[in-house]
Structure 1
Amino acid sequence: MASKNNPESHVEEESGQHGGVQSVDRALAVLEILARDGHAGVSEIAEEMGIHKSTVSRLLGSLVSREFVHQNSDRGKYQLGFGILRLASSIPGRLSLVREARPVLESLAEDFKETVNLAVHRSNYAVNVDQAMGPSMLATYDWVGSLTPLHATSSGKVLLAALSADERNRILTETGLPARTPRTITNRGKLENELINVARNGYGVTLEEFEIGINSMSVPVYNHLGAVIGAISISGPAFRFDPEKEPGLVEGIKEAGLQVSAKMGYTRR
């Protein structure tokens, strides 16, 4: 503790506090970069943040130790880890949503032989909190814990469509509409029209907008107050999976969304 006779100790204490806050701020900036880009290397992060690579390495090391970040051994780049999912899942109500939705996700995946995900809105992203894999050998990617852009995914479109105009404007102003593929919607007016259709139709669709070769469809999950608390999506390879043309899919996924919503206290209107 600083004393009147030793003013330097007070300066050191303030300096230490400032350094700690700066480290936290930088660590959060690293997480935001990885959430936005999907993966990045030490040099890329250091260049964007304008700090030395050794500082980035120390930050990543700390985040890896807590499983907030995972290093891809094949390319040496870093991506978000399962620690992020633990934080998201600790929010009240989210764990019960995952538990109640699980059998419905599995049934939907079995019926349509494709991958089914449950996503919730966190900050400016959609985070996938559970997944049921279809039987196809092509359905092998684990999306659990992944933070995905709201404008480029079917779940994200459903979650965006449920927000107030002011909240949606805030998010899209902060994130922009970066292109993930040549088919990503990057025009604000076009996206708003798309969201009107999502609200009208009760489902959202993406056709290779987040990842080339992947199509998806998503529906909302409601709570007892009728507020959207999540989104169920089904996705598959574009060469065989066209969501709106898949026999029975629109009705099937809508019913799945209503089943989970009923478990969360929602009354059909």
Structure 2
Amino acid sequence: MARRQDKPQRAGAETSLGRGIDILVALGSQDATANGGLGVVGIAKRVGREKSQVSRALKTLARYGLVDRDAETLVYRLGWRLFTLAAQAGHQRLLEEAPPVLQELVARFGETAHLSVLDDGEVLTLMSELSPSAVHASDWSGRRTPVHCTASGRALLLDHGENAVAQMFPAERLPICGPRSPSNIAELWRRILAARKVGFALADEEFESGLVSVAAPVRDFRGQIVAALNVSGPKFRFGSELQARGVVVEQAAEGLSRRLGWAFERTAPRGASGRAGNACTD
């Protein structure tokens, strides 16, 4: 039986590797993921292959964890190992792509910029780009700060639900850091909601007296928050027009997110009703 030619074959598609890649691309399509996967016949139609060829390729991909088969519906989905590999690549890509973004923010504002992640309930700074000014925020690379009294902390919690936030703090009262630090979980939650509404977080003398900062979340290819961009500096120099500065940092974070594979689509005006990210989780 002659092979179907439902679509032009790309160079390399005749190989087993090429067939496997075509199948993974088909399973990663928007409608396939929205429908919970594809059956063998549906995949065969999409890639222009015989059902027997697709079945053999799927068995190999499943053996390596690159696809999963639902035992009840018999449809195939992208497998856990593929997401693990993508996540690992995303972390490396984040560290490769972030430095020029931090440098651009320092050039724009003349203040120190940081890249941070959420690690064991704290904010861990992965890298800092220092301000050229004599008086500037410190290099916090490798250091940890509280999540509740920093702009980066709130940016990293932007998709958390209220219950998830409450579970992070065993006591109702929160440790006081700076003069404007939130003192309880209810106040922290109100500030998270305010940050969620505009897509970025502001901290005015919350971590320490005289220090202000703005931060926005960085998302991976799944739309999940994996890091935060932060710019901080002395209040006497950086404290004016924090909202406008927050928009710039949010734009920088969106650009970095795109480089990590996030297909961003804004559904509301900037600064009005928030950003188009994942739903909050409890």
Does 1:164 pair with 2:161? yes
- 1:188 aligned residue: 185
Matched, 1:251 2:247: yes
- Which whole-Å CA distance do the structure 1 matches of 2:132 and 2:243 have between them? 18
Q: TM-score with structure 2 length normalisation?
A: 0.59
Larger radius of gyration: 2
Q: Secondary structure at the match of 1:240?
A: helix
Matching residue of 2:209: 212
Matched residue, 2:220: 223
TM-score by length of 1: 0.62
**1-structure distance, mates of 2:173, 2:126:** 24
Match of 2:133 in 1: 136
Pick from 193, 197, 200 the counterpart of residue 197 of structure 2.
200
Q: Cα 1:149–1:138, aligned 2, differ >3 Å: closer, same or farther?
A: same
Q: How far apart are the structure 2 equivalents of 1:246 and 1:182?
A: 18
Tell me by how many angstroms 1:247 deviates: 8.5
Supply the distance in 2 between the matched residues of 1:247 and 1:183 (Cα, whole angstroms): 17
Amino acid at match of 1:160: L
Equivalent position amino acid for 2:245 in 1:
L
CA deviation after TM superposition for structure 1 residue 118, in Å: 0.5
Whether the aligned pair in 2 keeps the contact of 1:124 and 1:175 (CA below 8 Å) is no
What's 1:115 paired with?
A: 112
Q: How far apart, in 1, do the equivalents of 2:254 and 2:97 lie?
A: 12
Residue type of the partner of 2:234? P
Give yes or no for contact 2:213–2:230 (8 Å, CA) kept in 1. Answer: yes
Q: How many residues align?
A: 178
- In the alignment, the residues of structure 1 paired with residue 118 and residue 149 of structure 2 have an alpha-carbon distance, to the nearest angstrom, of 14
SS at match of 2:256: helix
Report what 1:177 is aligned to: 174
Q: Report the Cα offset of residue 174 of structure 1.
A: 6.6
Aligned residue type for 1:242: G
Contact conserved, 2:172 with 2:184, CA < 8 A, in 1?
A: no
Question: Which ranges of structure 1 fall in alignment gaps of 5 or more residues?
Answer: 1-90
Partner of 1:150: 147
Which residue identity does 2:107 align to in structure 1? E
Q: Which amino acid aligns with 2:261?
A: G
State the AA in 2 paired with 1:227: Q
1:234 equivalent in alignment to 2:231:
yes
Q: What secondary structure sits across from 2:123 in the alignment? A: strand
Gaps of 5+ in 2: 1-86, 266-282
RMSD: 2.0
Task: State how far apart, in whole Å, the 2-side matches of 1:178 and 1:219 are.
Answer: 23
Task: Please tell me whether the aligned partners of residues 221 and 261 of structure 1 are also in contact (alpha carbons under 8 angstroms).
Answer: yes
